[in-house]
Chains A and B, each alone.
Chain A
Amino acid sequence: MSPADRPALSNRSVLGLPLLASEISVLFRRRRTWAMLASLALIPVLIALAVRLTSSRPSTGRGPAFLDQVSQNGLFVSFVGLLVSVPLFLPLTVGVVAGDTIAGEASAGTLRYLLIAPAGRVRLLVVKYVATAVFCVAGTLAVAVSGAMIGAALFPIGPVTLLSGDSIAVGDSIVRSLLIAAYISVSLLGLSAIGLFISTMTDVPVGAMATTIVLSVVSQVLDSLPQLDWLHPWLFSHYWLGFADLSRQPILWDSFGSNLILQAGYILVFGALAFGRFTTKDILS
């Protein structure tokens, strides 16, 4: 068969959009992904149920911040749910997805077939990263949406009193919730890049997942040591809880901006490391 007899090669999918669509669809066809999203959605449900069943009279000062406000306004369930999920549960699930990106394909033996398809190593890395970012959004939304729903079901809904003392309408508060969800999704992007890099270094997905999750804990521990305050602004978890600024009137965008820059820095550095590692790696899995 001469090359002329063959169908002309189309150039339309050079961007890898079909591969990205397939990556996202494969991610969300895994039972594991849904199990993680369901666990995340369960967190605000547990919080709401606990508050509903135990506190006729909320005690202030115990449990997560704002817990006492939940029973007065169901819209706070989302907020408390996110606050509780940010330090551990969200990094846990993101660590699983990010750590699995390359190492998971390697251990399944599919990495070599993707590469000889040919997916292109850079394209595959980018697709894997974007899919992880999509999961960050999905995970955060799972907490926020389930919180809003259970809050509306169990508690009264009304104008929300902000940290600054101002009161905003229900519609406005939903916009704020989405802003907070966006803030948290962005917060997880740096960790995703770290996970992607670690995933290029091993063929054992569980190892990459565990390392990523441990790093997220280490970063938060370092962030809590006052002796290391020079290091704090450089830690990827430094602004993780900074979304409270979004519940002021007017909105304080400072931490949103700083967080964005910090996460972008992590994406650049660890993206470059992942690129350097993955494009030169011998695929022997």
Chain B
Amino acid sequence: MTPVATGFAMGTEFAIHTEGLTKRFGSQLAVDGVDLRVPVGSVFGFLGPNGSGKTTTIRLLLGLASATSGQIEVLGKRIPEDLRMVLPEVGALVEGPGFYPYLSGAANLHRLDTADGHATSATRRVRVQTALERVGLSHAAGKKVKAYSLGMKQRLGIANALLTPRRLLVLDEPTNGLDPQGTREVRSLIRSLAAEGTTVFVSSHLLAEIEQVCTDAAVMSVGRLVAQGTIAELRGVGGARVRLESPDRDLAIAVFSRFGMTVAEPGADATELIAAFGEKEPDPEVMVAALVDARVRVRSFTVDRPSLEQRFVDLTGEGFDVAG
């Protein structure tokens, strides 16, 4: 978990901060007591299988739906009370792109930009052009959206989120419908936005697609937040293990216990030993030296770190792209 917040309504260190956020549809709890903390300047991966409540949470954050209970702060302001002040500084792609099929890509962006009462019309044309360039759609600017492919619509949706400078970007499944090249482009776009200081909150059910760009992440499962923290913290939880191959089993166990480690489980055969780290994680070379000093015949020594993917499957209790 992330460091504990210094109290709700401080609001400065988190771009998004929720407490006990709950949304109930009839008898179904779509979002169940979510305490989300998205540090300012982070690229925050919001992960979870389909149907785990990610999009509903995003709708609550953006004031599209009202929470059943709980509190929300976005950019230090309360939602939904200060929505009109917050939203101009937030760009968002929510549950896929939505456009007027009979208008061109550029005309669609013009239209949505006029809805932002704070956006200056003097710079509208230039801003639309820049946003389209940024997502590589300049060539299709004059084309009607009904002739766009799903990937192009997705890009246009991201362009819409970039129409004015934002402090926070909320991207819901931004790589949906994109080919591998497009996915790579979105990742590099996220990187460049983050480099400019924008906090990026990106949801996905495909960990692999965003893992490389995220600094922080949270995992949702069936409406609940099951893990949250920096990528390093998330990887660390559940911890690394040492895999040792040696015929001198008892000697090795004695050495490991000196390092405060416990032999977690028997290996694949009699010569394999798997030990989990205790409080500290000594350097491998120190451990190998200690083993050799104790006359343990080391055939192989490996420090295994669980992949993030494995961690998330453990947390959500299912394959990552299986509906929850």
Q: Please report A residues at the B interface, Cβ cutoff 8 Å.
A: 1, 3, 6-7, 9-11, 13-14, 16, 18-19, 21-22, 26, 29-31, 108-120, 123-124, 280, 282-284
Q: Shortest 3 CB-CB distances between A and B: which pairs?
A: A109-B98, A117-B115, A282-B65
Interface positions of B from 127 to 176, Cβ below 8 Å from A: 160, 165, 167
Contact A117 B165 (CB under 8 A): no
**Interface contacts beyond A30-B102, A119-B116, A282-B59: sample of 20 additional A-B pairs, CB < 8 Å, sorted by A:** A1-B197, A1-B198, A9-B118, A10-B120, A11-B118, A21-B114, A22-B115, A109-B96, A110-B100, A112-B62, A113-B94, A113-B112, A114-B112, A117-B116, A118-B84, A118-B115, A118-B116, A120-B117, A283-B64, A284-B64
How many contacts between A and B, using CB within 8 angstroms? Answer: 109
Contact A109 B65 (CB under 8 A): no
If A9-B88, A13-B117 touch, whether A115 touches B64 (CB-CB below 8 Å) is yes
Contact A26 B111 (CB under 8 A): yes
CA separation between A124 and B64, bound complex, in Å? 14
Interface size class of B (residues with CB under 8 A): 35 or more
CA separation between A6 and B103, bound complex, in Å? 31
Closest-CB distance, A21 to chain B (whole angstroms): 7
Contact B103 A26 (CB under 8 A): yes
If A13-B121, A19-B115, A118-B83 touch, whether A109 touches B102 (CB-CB below 8 Å) is no
B177 at the interface (CB under 8 A from A): no
Q: Please report B residues at the A interface, Cβ cutoff 8 Å.
A: 59, 62-66, 83-84, 87-90, 92, 94-103, 107, 110-121, 160, 165, 167, 196-198
CA separation between A153 and B103, bound complex, in Å? 37
CA separation between A22 and B124, bound complex, in Å? 13
Closest-CB distance, A273 to chain B (whole angstroms): 19
- Which residues of A sit under 8 angstroms from B103, Cβ to Cβ? 26, 29
Contact B116 A284 (CB under 8 A): no
- Which residues of B sit under 8 angstroms from A11, Cβ to Cβ? 118
If A19-B115, A117-B112, A123-B117 touch, whether A109 touches B99 (CB-CB below 8 Å) is yes
Contact B100 A26 (CB under 8 A): yes
Q: Which of B66, B83, B160 contacts A113 (CB 8 A)?
A: B160
Contact A29 B64 (CB under 8 A): no
Contact B99 A108 (CB under 8 A): yes
Closest-CB distance, B315 to chain A (whole angstroms): 27
Contact A118 B88 (CB under 8 A): yes
- Which residues of A sit under 8 angstroms from B119, Cβ to Cβ? 13
Q: Which of A22, A111, A119 contacts B110 (CB 8 A)?
A: A22
Contact B115 A10 (CB under 8 A): no
Interface hub of B62, B64, B102 (most chain A Cβ within 10 A): B64
If A118-B87, A282-B65 touch, whether A112 touches B98 (CB-CB below 8 Å) is yes
- Which residues of B sit under 8 angstroms from A30, Cβ to Cβ? 102
Contact B117 A109 (CB under 8 A): no
- Which residues of B sit under 8 angstroms from A18, Cβ to Cβ? 114, 117, 121
Contact B98 A113 (CB under 8 A): yes
Closest-CB distance, A222 to chain B (whole angstroms): 36
If A120-B84, A284-B59 touch, whether A22 touches B114 (CB-CB below 8 Å) is yes
Contact A116 B64 (CB under 8 A): yes
Q: Which of B59, B101, B102, B117 contacts A19 (CB 8 A)?
A: B117
Contact A31 B102 (CB under 8 A): yes
Task: List the B residue with the shortest CB-CB distance to A31.
Answer: B102
Task: List the A residue with the shortest CB-CB distance to B123.
Answer: A7
CA separation between A175 and B37, bound complex, in Å? 66
Contact B98 A116 (CB under 8 A): no
- Which residues of B sit under 8 angstroms from A13, Cβ to Cβ? 117-119, 121
Q: 19 A-B Cβ contacts within 8 A? A: A1-B196, A1-B198, A9-B118, A11-B118, A18-B121, A26-B100, A29-B102, A29-B107, A108-B100, A109-B97, A110-B100, A112-B64, A113-B112, A115-B63, A118-B117, A119-B116, A124-B115, A280-B66, A282-B59
- Which residues of B sit under 8 angstroms from A1, Cβ to Cβ? 165, 167, 196-198
CA separation between A115 and B266, bound complex, in Å? 58
Closest-CB distance, B121 to chain A (whole angstroms): 5
Closest-CB distance, B161 to chain A (whole angstroms): 9
Closest-CB distance, B228 to chain A (whole angstroms): 24
- Which residues of B sit under 8 angstroms from A108, Cβ to Cβ? 98-101
